[in-house]
Every structure is written in C-alpha cells, then in structure tokens.
Amino acid sequence: MRGICASVFLIAAAMAAAQPPSPAPQVWTMQDSGTTARLRGIDSVDGTVAWASGTGGTVLRTTDGGAHWTSCATPDAAKDGATLDFRGVQGFDANTAVVMSSGKGDLSRLYRTTDACRTWKLVFTNPDKDGFWDALLLNRFDVDGEMLGDPVDGKFAFWETEDKGISWRRGSLLGLNARPQEGAFAASNSALFLDERYGTGFVTGGPSGSRSFYSEDTSETGKFSAKPLPLRNGSASSGGFSIDARDWCCRVVVGGDYLAPDDRKGTAAYTRDGGAHWTASTVPPHGYRSAVQWSAQLHAWITVGANGSDISRDDGRTWQPLGNGNWNALSLPFVVGPNGRIARLDPSAIPAAAALPPAAVQPAQKAGIPHR
C-alpha cells in the first residue's frame, strides 16, 4: 500500500521505544548484514542459503546460515536501480532468485538472477501506471507463483507465472473487487499465501476495514471469496498485514496499526475452519505485527513487528512475548528490519512449553481440494 512510506515508518519506529511486558531473553541472534538499508524482503531457502532485500536497490545473499552476508550487484545499477525499494525476494537456490521492487507504476519491477546475483535480468515491469506491487510468492519446488498488487480500476492486481518467474500473465480468478481505499500492505512480502494443496489467499486493510480473500481453486475457473477480519481497522495505516497457513484448516493473520506500534488491540486473528470464520486472538501479540509464520519445527507460530516478536502454541488464540527488537519481515529462521537488521532464531532460547494437543498439530484432511 502506497501509504507505507519510509518517513512514516521512521515515526513508527520512534514510537516503539516502550518496553514490552516480560520478554524472553535473546531468542534472536544478531548478524552482520553489512548494510544500513531498510530490509523488508527475506527468503530462507533451507536455513543455510537465504536472500534478503530492501531500500536503495539492496539485495543480500548468504550461503552459510547468515555467518556472512554478501551484497549482490544492484539490479539496473546503470539506470535507476539504486533508487528502487525491493520489498520482496524469492530464492530457488544459492544461484537463482527473483526480487520485486514496489513503487507506483513502472517502479514496480521483477528482476531475476541465475548466477548468484552477479548479474540481473529485468523480466517484468508493472504495465499499470497507477499500480503498486505488494507481495511475491514463488514455489521453489515447482514452477508456479503469484504476485499481488493494490487495486487498479477497482480490482486487486493478481499475476501468475508457470516458469519460475521468467514470464507473467494477469490472473483470471474472479472475486478481486476492492472496496474504496482498500489495499494490501507491502510491509513484509507476506500479505499473500500460496499452497497448491489447499489454495491461495491474501489479506487487506484500509479505512473500509480489513478482509481475507481466499480461493481453494487456483485454476482459471477459480474465484476468491472475501471475509471480514476482526482486526484493528478504519484507517489507511491499519488492517491485516500478513497471513500464513499450516494446513487447510488453520491460518493466522496479524496486523494492527503501524502508526500505533505498541497498541496490541486487534493485532491478530485465527481460523480453524478454512477461513469461513475468523476469531480475534484472546491474548494478542504485544503490538502491531507485520509478519507471521508457522514453524513445523517448533509446532508454533512466530510473529514480528516494530516493537518485538511473539509466539503462539495454540494456533493463534494466545501469544507470549519473545523479545523487543524492531522487525519488518520473517522467513524462519531469519528476521529482518530497519537499518540493515538481520537476526537468526535460536530455538534453544525459547522457553519450554507443554506439547500441543494432537488436534492443534495434526494436519486437517479435506477431500477434493483442486490443484492447478
């Protein structure tokens, strides 16, 4: 969403100075990124290889779990690459990745590398002069992927690839109509989710409220249905910022208001029936949150934002603080934030908890879910 600009987030960071209640100690181990860019893109390929991206045309890469991060060549450096804001990055391996810049019109672009980011090829430029790209997801185990943009002519922009991000076409799924001033947030490249086993979806916000869009059918005949989210909303700075799913039944959305980073009201919601009904978290995270991810290793959800991070072991119903760092985006075990901040999760530092009941960790089964 165009309202998420660097200057406003500087205000949000300044407002995030208050300490959260009783955080657990040092679950994030800081790493040296070698940059002061505001990082919003992070994609962990396997915990050893990872890619990160941010302002000033910044793209980073590690092949040793973050012990060393190296700066990539700037895409389109001879033109205007150093002015681009790379809000999303998706890696296939140590050599191949696609990076997404976000900006009005042709400032939204996709670049692809196949030589460990020594060179980049421009593969797609936003054809909508009033468009703005928010999130990019590529399936590293297959050839398909999706990209989400703010509404153009009253409909969310939705793009698809079937060749690992080399070429793109406008998606044909129905049900993408937007309300006035409704949009997605490009805060963490996680307003969109995709899983061929049970569908695709995204979350929105804005003055007209926040919604979850979802389609079980990702084929050309598919249609999105939209459900309201019980999150803080009513302003251009509030709504749903990030969504993730652990299987068909269970998804979590986080958000709030980035101009009120310490206000925990309306910052998380969950569903256990595939998105038919959403429930506000009984004990929400301790502030605005811009990214959330399910960890199969921990059997828990991790969420991060401007004033810290939290964990939920009951599928989003309750959350407990993990720390108070300033973060933007998450791809476990890595987290990134402003001023080049990168850290790695230390699972051994997370307080032990009783095992989740079987119903909370066993995948739900649903027959007849269409695949692409």
Tell me the pLDDT band of 222, cut-offs 50, 70 and 90.
Answer: confident
pTM: 0.88
Give the pLDDT confidence score for residue 25 in this predicted structure: 57
Full residue range of the structural domain in which residue 317 is found: 6-30+92-330
Tally of structural domains, the chain: 1
Q: What share of the chain is helix, strand, coil (3-state, %, to 5)?
A: 5, 40, 55
d(CA 150, CA 154): 9
DSSP state, 270?
A: E
- Whether 61 is covered by a domain: the verdict is no
- Whether 367 is covered by a domain: the verdict is no
User: pLDDT tens digit string along 80-116?
Assistant: 999 999 999 999 999 999 999 999 999 999 999 999 9
d(CA 103, CA 109): 8
User: pLDDT tens digit string along 233-281?
Assistant: 999 999 999 999 998 899 999 999 999 999 999 999 999 999 999 999 9
- Whether 39 is covered by a domain: the verdict is no
- Whether 49 is covered by a domain: the verdict is no
In contact, 202 and 230? CB cutoff 8 Å: no
- Per DSSP, helices labelled H in the chain are 6-15, 358-361
- Whether 348 is covered by a domain: the verdict is no
- Whether 76 is covered by a domain: the verdict is no
- Whether 371 is covered by a domain: the verdict is no
Could you tell me the two tokens for 312? 């939920």
Instruction: CATH number of the domain at 102, please.
Output: 2.130.10.10
Give the pLDDT confidence score for residue 2 in this predicted structure: 52
d(CA 16, CA 26): 18
- Whether 304 is covered by a domain: the verdict is yes
Determine the average pLDDT of the residues in 358-368.
Answer: 32
- pLDDT of 22 over the 70 cut: no
Give the pLDDT confidence score for residue 131 in this predicted structure: 97
